[in-house]
Amino acid sequence: MKDPYLLHIFNPTKNVSPFDVNMAYEADFNGVIPYSNVTLEEVYALTQDTIFSRGSTGVKRTGIFIGGREFGLAIDMLNQARTAMVPPFEVSVFADPSGAITTAAAVIAAVEIWMLKLSGEDLAGKKVHIFGGTGPVGICAGILASLCKAEVSITSHRGADVAQRIADEYNGRYKVDMRGVGSGTAEDILAFLGESNVVIGAAKAGIRVMSKEQIEQAESLIVAADINAVPPAGIEGIDVNDMGVELPHAPGNAVGIGALAIGNLKYRVHYRLFQMMKEAEKPVYLDHIRAFAVARELAKG
């Protein structure tokens, strides 16, 4: 095949995600080439090997995808690849470690839509608590919500000190203002639940972070979103297919957004970003900001 569309996947962990490989072929890349255990220091040389091998025309049919499991490292790798470009030898780069960026973009876009529907307001000033907030999805979701001017708390079952340390790290890097709170005990959760306008379950699959009894205490809750599709539900009472379905145990008219509903939007975002790589006349660098812009657009439709 002459001039195929090629996608090189730079992955800092042992295994490249089958999801990412499948999605790339779904987006009609002709060849998907995985690289495992790639370090940040190796990205520059790998990128230049990629851009100089196909000529100034072939680079338009070439892309780099950054995988792995760490949000911050993936963004660092994207930036490192960008510095290695030598115009006109430039290719598009897309970062999405463990699908965290597209998932976070989808969940915040969906929450924002339902906040507007129910309250007539956006996320500005709303109190958002993210369970599992120190993982890659939680961190990225927290950053995006904070950029929407929400008052964001990322929670950790390991305690407030751990959560605050991670919040401080990403606050400094991305100029946001998140705080860390503990969620290791029922008392920890009840301490903040009464003021929560939005709760997001972003903990590991199969872990319940909120029970119906706890939801009954969430007097200010407007939207709850759960990314966990593995039973039991991360937030009790939310079905995986729910999109704006009223929560039966909430004291107000709060609604739930389920994992598969979020996943459907995430899939569309992921696919659209791959298409943007292929369609761009000039290289695009697809990070959490670009993913969120696409998620917002698709969520409206």
Any idea which residue has 């200010």 for tokens? 220
85 within some domain: yes
* Rounded distance between C-alpha atoms, residue 149 and residue 199, angstroms: 16
Question: Burial code of 119-140, b = ≥16 C-beta within 10 A, e = fewer?
Answer: eeeebeebbbbbbbbbbbbbbb
Q: What is the pLDDT of residue 56?
A: 81
Asked if 139 and 220 sit in the same domain, the reply is: yes
pTM value is 0.96
Percentage helix, strand, coil for the chain under 3-state DSSP, each rounded to 5: 45, 20, 35
181 within some domain: yes
Q: What is the pLDDT of residue 195?
A: 95
The CA-atom distances, in angstroms, between 94 and each of 10, 151, 176, 254, 289 are: 10, 28, 22, 35, 11
Packing angle of the helix pair 288-300, 100-119 (nearest 10 deg):
40
* Rounded distance between C-alpha atoms, residue 275 and residue 279, angstroms: 6
82 within some domain: yes
The CA-atom distances, in angstroms, between 200 and each of 131, 221, 249, 276 are: 6, 11, 16, 29
* Rounded distance between C-alpha atoms, residue 17 and residue 92, angstroms: 20
Any idea which residue has 């390991």 for tokens? 158
* Short-list 265, 293, 273, 279, CA closest to 94: 273
* Local structure of 90: helix, strand or coil: coil
77 within some domain: yes
207 within some domain: yes
For the chain, what is the domain count? Answer: 2
1 within some domain: no
Q: Residue 128: beta bridge partners? A: 152, 198
Asked if 59 and 179 sit in the same domain, the reply is: no
* Rounded distance between C-alpha atoms, residue 227 and residue 137, angstroms: 9
* Rounded distance between C-alpha atoms, residue 71 and residue 29, angstroms: 24
Asked if 227 and 80 sit in the same domain, the reply is: no
Asked if 232 and 293 sit in the same domain, the reply is: no
Determine contact, residues 61/7, Cβ cutoff 8 Å. no
Asked if 199 and 58 sit in the same domain, the reply is: no
Q: Tens digit of pLDDT per residue, the chain (301 long)?
A: 678 999 999 999 999 999 999 999 999 999 999 999 999 999 999 999 999 988 888 889 999 999 999 999 999 999 999 999 999 999 999 999 999 999 999 999 999 999 999 999 999 999 999 999 999 999 999 999 999 999 999 999 999 999 999 999 999 999 999 999 999 899 999 999 999 999 999 998 888 999 999 999 999 999 999 999 999 999 999 999 999 999 988 998 899 999 999 999 999 999 999 999 999 989 999 999 999 999 999 998 7
Q: What is the pLDDT of residue 1?
A: 64
* Short-list 207, 71, 72, 70, CA closest to 131: 207
Q: What is the CATH number of the domain that holds 31?
A: 3.40.50.10280
Give the residue numbers spanning the domain of 285.
Answer: 6-99+267-300
Asked if 95 and 208 sit in the same domain, the reply is: no
15: phi then psi, degrees, rounded to nearest 5: -110, 135
Asked if 116 and 244 sit in the same domain, the reply is: yes
271 within some domain: yes
The CA-atom distances, in angstroms, between 232 and each of 44, 128, 132, 221, 228 are: 43, 23, 15, 21, 8
Q: Is the peptide bond before 283 cis (omega within 30 degrees of 0)?
A: no
Asked if 121 and 227 sit in the same domain, the reply is: yes
User: Burial, 37: exposed, middle or buried (Cβ in 10 Å; 0-12, 13-18, 19+)?
Assistant: exposed
Asked if 241 and 109 sit in the same domain, the reply is: yes
Asked if 166 and 22 sit in the same domain, the reply is: no
Asked if 109 and 247 sit in the same domain, the reply is: yes
Q: What is the CATH number of the domain that holds 184?
A: 3.40.50.720
Asked if 277 and 151 sit in the same domain, the reply is: no
* Local structure of 124: helix, strand or coil: coil
13 within some domain: yes
